[in-house]
Chain A
Amino acid sequence: EAAVTQSPRNKVAVTGGKVTLSCNQTNNHNNMYWYRQDTGHGLRLIHYSYGAGSTEKGDIPDGYKASRPSQENFSLILELATPSQTSVYFCASGDEGAPLYFGAGTRLSVL
């Protein structure tokens, strides 16, 4: 079965600190995505990737970077975390036209 694993599951960070959220997929999907989910906004796309070495800006990329060093791994990086980045973050993988498979989410609190 398709599997997407996120780590950590919970993270508390300080304002101005660096945060890295990791995602690993065993589905051999080309495309991977990072979303954040906030009440009233649903899922919003931060960054996505078509394959190893590629990263693309989504709808709300400001304050975030992404890295896709391999087919399996896709990271989201907050260089200078701010309280407005407190949210639940989801990673997903999928092929064009196919359903997305989601990780269980990372709950990030920036104090």
Chain B
Amino acid sequence: QQKVQQSPESLTVSEGAMASLNCTFSDGTSNNFRWYRQHSAKGLEVLVSIFSDGEKEEGRFTAHLNRANLHVSLHIREPQPSDSAVYLCAGTGNYKYVFGAGTRLKVIA
């Protein structure tokens, strides 16, 4: 089954600085990719979906996809303390989703 390597495991940034998260997939099974955010003890909410090479912006969140490198990234512009959460990348294909283990982001004022 497809695996996902997500990095870094944890990240601390200052409010207003750019935060960058990365995922690399083990193979080309997935054809759609998404980033989810999970606040402590809560379910996941989708932030941005990307289906083709290039970038997709949703407010302060921008996803980049490079299929050749099996790589998807998320950049958070001007992060705020309320963005502190766990961020998970996900790939989907054939009814099934595969998730990364998550990056724990802490934004300090």
Show the binding face of A for B, using Cβ within 8 Å: 4, 31, 33, 35, 40-43, 45, 48, 50, 58-59, 90, 92, 96-97, 99-100, 102-105, 107
Q: How many angstroms from the CA of A4 to the CA of B46 in the assembled complex?
A: 14
In the complex, whether B34 has a CB less than 8 A from a CB of chain A is: yes
- The answer to whether residues A45 and B97 also contact, given A99-B46, A105-B41 and a CB cut-off of 8 A, is yes
Total A-B residue contacts, Cβ distance less than 8 Å: 46
Do most interface residues of chain B lie in helix, strand or loop, or is the interface mixed? strand
A44 CB to nearest chain B CB (Å): 8
Q: Number of B interface residues at 8 Å Cβ cutoff, please give it.
A: 22
Q: How many angstroms from the CA of A4 to the CA of B45 in the assembled complex?
A: 12
Show the binding face of B for A, using Cβ within 8 Å: 1, 4, 6, 32, 34, 41-46, 49, 88, 90, 92, 95-97, 99-102
